[in-house]
Structure 1
C-alpha cells in the first residue's frame, strides 16, 4: 500500500478549516440593548447571561446603582463620561474615573457604581463569569 498516496488523498478530501477572521465593529454598528433601568449593553464577545463576556456598557448621566455584588470579577475601561465604583460604605471617597481609566470590581464585593458626569458614561467591560446583579441590604 502506498501510504504517501493515501495521505495525499486524505489531505485533498479533508474539510477546509476556516481561516481566523478579524472582527471589526464600528461604533455606529454596536447593537445596544437597554435594560428597564436605562443601562445599555452592546455585546462584543460571549453571552453575558451564560459565560464570561466582553461588552460595551452605557450608564445614563447621573445614574447611581443600588449597592450590589457580582459573582465574577468585573474589569472596565472608561471610554466616555466620568464614573465611580466604590465599596457601598465608602461612596463619599470614591475616585472619579475619566476617559482611559481602568477599574476592577472584585467578585463578592458590595459596591455602588455611578455615572457622575453630565453626559452618559460608556465603558468597555470584561467579566470573567456570567453577568449578575445581586442587591445587598444597606446596614
Structure 2
C-alpha cells in the first residue's frame, strides 16, 4: 500500500471509530427505547395546566416523558386557543396534524400552518402559539429535553 492509502484507511478507521464511540456513549444512547405503534384512538391525553381563554392544552405521549426528558408528544389545542407570550428552556420541533396553527414571535407575522406544515422553536425565545382554525388543532412535537412553559412577564 502506498502512503496515501494508509493515511486514508487510518482516517476512515478514526472517523468510524469515533462515531461508533459516540453512538454507544451512555450520555448519547443509540436508541430511544422499544418500538411502538399507537392507534390514534388509543393515545391517552392528559391536562398540561397550560390554559388560555379558549381552554387547556392536552398532551398525549408517543415516546419518552415530556415531564422528565427527551420526548415526542401529541399536543391537542382547542380551536381559537392563543397562548400567552412564553418560552421553553429547550428547542422543539412541531408538525401540524389537524387544524390550522401558528407559532410566531410576539407581534410577529402570523403564518397559517395547515396539516403537514412544520415549525422549529428555538429554546428561551419568546413566542406565541395558537390554533387559528374553527376546529381543534393537533400538533406533534419533538423535544430533546423536558417540556416547560415559562410565561413572559
Counterparts of 2:48 and 2:60 in 1: how far apart (Å)?
11
Bigger proportion of residues as helix: 2
Greater C-alpha radius of gyration: 1
The counterpart of 1:72, out of the listed 90, 100, 113, is 90
Aligned counterpart, 1:10: none
Match status 1:129 vs 2:142: no
Give the count of matched residue pairs. Answer: 116
Counterparts of 2:119 and 2:143 in 1: how far apart (Å)?
12
- C-alpha deviation, 1:129, in angstroms: 1.2
Match status 1:26 vs 2:39: yes
Match status 1:63 vs 2:81: yes
Aligned counterpart, 2:29: none
The counterpart of 1:35, out of the listed 44, 48, 56, is 48
DSSP 3-state at the match of 2:142 = strand
Counterparts of 2:106 and 2:144 in 1: how far apart (Å)?
22
CA RMSD of aligned residues (A): 1.3
- Listed as ranges, the gaps of 5+ residues in structure 2 are 1-32
Counterparts of 1:74 and 1:132 in 2: how far apart (Å)?
11
- 1:73-92 equivalences under 5 Å are 73-90=91-108
- C-alpha deviation, 1:34, in angstroms: 2.1
- C-alpha deviation, 1:89, in angstroms: 2.9
- C-alpha deviation, 1:74, in angstroms: 1.0
Aligned counterpart, 1:6: none
Q: Which has the higher contact order (CA 8 A, sep 6+)?
A: 1
